[in-house]
Amino acid sequence: MSDDVTAWFTGRLPDTWFTEKPTITVDREEILLVGTLPPLAEQFQDEAATAAAESGRIARWREETRDHRIEIARQAEHRYGRKVAWGARVGGTEELFTTLSVPVMTRLRQPERRTLDTLVDAGVARSRSEALAWAVRLVGKHAEEWLADLRTAMTTVEDLRTKGPNL
């Protein structure tokens, strides 16, 4: 599915939108497409000013392409049965917009609940739900290489299944 999604968007997106091939991530509910916009021509005095200019460039691109992106998203949602989310990056700034927040249920025993409650009590998170999301982001950040290897292995297994005998 991911290869087909990438190919479809490659053919469907205007050539002038991004300076390189966009990053496309697919999961069960959503397709996330993040593209790199042309760099800023002007230099700024400090990182804060640069970040503000980059954020402004992303906001301008978002506004200018809104109608076209909505039409592309409608077509993709019909074709793939998933919502489409967009994002853009310029320099060191990346912003995502129209992304889904999907509820996920889990059962936790007391030690895990106590961990979440500690994060809430310490003010790191406002709720157990937010604390769990924070913990998942932290694991993802620190285990990204391992998770990438795992995803590659899963893709290889899926490829082998499709090439295997039909029973």
Reference 154, options 48, 26, 63; nearest CA is: 26
Q: Are 58 and 37 in contact (CB under 8 A)?
A: yes
**Is residue 143 over pLDDT 90?**
no
pLDDT reported for residue 146? 85
4 lies in the same domain as 52: yes
Residue 101 lies in a domain: no
* Dihedral sign (CA 68, 14, 7, 92): negative
Choose the final residue of a domain: 52, 67, 96: 96
Q: Could you tell me the strand order of the sheet in which 83-90 lies?
A: 23-26, 30-36, 83-90, 93-97
Instruction: Tell me: do 83 and 148 sit in the same domain.
Output: no
Q: Which of 41-45, 86-90, 132-136 has the highest mean pLDDT?
A: 86-90
Residue 59 clears pLDDT 90, i.e. is over it:
yes
**Model pLDDT for residues 61-114, shown as the tens digit of each residue:** 999 999 999 999 999 999 999 999 999 999 999 999 988 888 888 899 998 999
Mean pLDDT of 22-46: 93
Structure confidence at residue 1 (pLDDT): 64
**Cross-strand pairs, 30:** 83
Nearest 10 degrees: Cα torsion 127, 128, 131, 135: -170
Side chain identity, residue 22: P
Residue 93's H or E segment, with its range, is strand 93-97
59 shares its domain with 136: no
Which domain covers residue 86, as residue numbers?
1-96
Amino acid sitting at position 27: D
What is the model's pLDDT at position 117? 93
Per the structure, the count of domains in the chain is: 2
Q: How confident is the model at residue 141 (pLDDT cuts 50, 70, 90)?
A: confident
pLDDT in tens, 1-30: 678 999 999 999 999 999 999 999 999 899
